[in-house]
Amino acid sequence: MPLKTGTVEEPKLDLTPMIDIVFLLIIFFMVGTQFTEMERQYDIQLPTVTDAKPLTNLPDDIIVNVSQNGEVTLQGEKKTLAELETALKEAVKNFPGQSVVIRGDSTGPYQNVMNVLDVCHRVNIRSVSLANRLSDEASK
């Protein structure tokens, strides 16, 4: 059994893995630099472009108001369900991804809102939102 002497060994820091990583990074950047030099050796004038914007903005949501007595208004004008359907068909023809927001009166019959939802379904409007607001109790 070996006897321990009273000397304490100093802890050593092994730098081999860190040196390996540094060499790998150097090789990576050297190879990357070689590729960029190869691209520059050809005298080609690349075309330039500006930041392209779409010619038109996306259309705003169509807001349909449904009052307590069932009156439907679109852009401030009273409409029948048939007139609403015609207007929404025209909007979908102009922009197939048109979205609609339905603002139904909370004290009115829900059937009035369902009639407008049915019109939206018939004209293939897929993005329909029902407007709401937070109650006073929920905001406390």
Give one DSSP letter per residue of 69-80, joined into a string: T--EEETTEEE-
Main-chain dihedrals φ then ψ at residue 32, nearest 5 degrees:
-60, -35
**Mean pLDDT, to the nearest integer, of 54-78?**
85
pLDDT at 65: 92
**Mean pLDDT, to the nearest integer, of 45-65?**
73
Q: Does pLDDT of 1 surpass 60?
A: no
> What is the biggest distance separating any 2 CA atoms in the chain, rounded to whole angstroms?
104
**Mean pLDDT, to the nearest integer, of 8-25?**
89
Question: With contact defined as beta carbons under 8 Å apart, do 98 and 92 qualify?
Answer: yes
| Percent of the chain's residues with pLDDT above 90 | 41
Q: Does pLDDT of 139 surpass 60?
A: no
Main-chain dihedrals φ then ψ at residue 139, nearest 5 degrees:
-85, -5
Report how far residue 110's alpha carbon sits from residue 71's, in angstroms, rounded to the nearest whole number.
13
| Percent of the chain's residues with pLDDT above 70 | 75
